[in-house]
Amino acid sequence: MKPNRVFGVDFSGAKDADRKIWIAGGALDGDTLRLDLCRRLENLPGPGSRLERALTTLRTFVTQQAPCVVGLDFPFGLPRILVEEERWEDFALGFSGRYPDADRFQMSCTLTAFERTGYKELRRDTDIEAKTPLSPYNRRIYKQTFYGIRDVIAPLVANGAACVLPMQTALPDRTWLVEICPASTLELMGLRRSYKDENGRDYRWVRDDILTKVTQPFGIEVPDQIRHLVDADRKGDALDSIIAALATLRALRESIDTAGSSDPALVEGHVYV
């Protein structure tokens, strides 16, 4: 039985991740997804840095929403040649022991790739297929990969709170986690264009147009207050979270049980677009 709650997460591994992580989602009513949530992550009180508390808050949210399916905007794995383990689960659970911090993670991947292939950066098969913008350990996103694997999905897998697809079996009583990429989804739909305000330019009309085109054809209902929020969010993170929810919904409807069912996807991961 598939979950009836769907969420998309626009992720960040920055120091102020609590202000940059957005979550959007809602409940399925037949073929309609009714959005009832679109907001920044709200940190739980407690010790630790803003980033540490943000990651704890995200894990708590994912756990409390079970059973549901959550799309997360960061790489779940690395190119096969950089992975020593034969199973993705072993790779994820051993990740923190192999890579002490984010910078050493990026350096290790870069050096290993160069030593073994002569290339500074390698991409997974799914990155090529989904046309993701960057390698999982590219300087622009390596912190997302590092903190996403180490502090979000690995702990959820370790305590049995979530199943990571397609590398693990989807169990009906748990949260299902899938890797998504809003940029790839927009590319697939022919909607890649500037929508984040910069240099004094106001792109709210572009955000509104994209929002309509990624929701109406797929049976996603957007309340007026969420539409106004997307229009007003100059950085475009609210829209990204809704695009993430769309990719997650598409995975649930079309391919979540079969996509990436062969090696190397079972080790590298699979991007659902």
**pLDDT digits 0-9 by tens, 80-104:** 999 999 999 999 999 999 999 999 9
Phi, psi of 153 (to 5 degrees): -75, -35
pLDDT in tens, 211-237: 999 999 999 999 999 999 999 999 999
Per the prediction, the chain carries an average pLDDT of 93
How many whole angstroms separate alpha carbon 149 and alpha carbon 93? Answer: 9
pLDDT at res. 42: 79
pLDDT at res. 267: 94
pTM above 0.85, yes or no: yes
Whose CA is closest to 149, among 214, 82, 196, 206?
82
- What is residue 51's three-state secondary structure? helix
CA angle 18, 237, 10 (to 5 degrees): 65
- Across the strands, what pairs with 29? 32
Enter the tokens of residue 97: 């022991």
How many whole angstroms separate alpha carbon 231 and alpha carbon 204? Answer: 5
pLDDT at res. 176: 97
- Across the strands, what pairs with 164? 177
pLDDT in tens, 255-265: 676 555 567 78
pLDDT category at 11 given cuts 50, 70, 90 is: very high
Pairing of strands 69-72, 175-180: parallel
| Strand ranges for the chain from DSSP E | 5-10, 22-29, 32-40, 69-72, 162-164, 175-180, 220-221, 271-272
Q: What distances in angstroms separate CA 12 from CA 62, 69, 72, 149, 192, one per listed residue?
A: 16, 19, 10, 12, 21
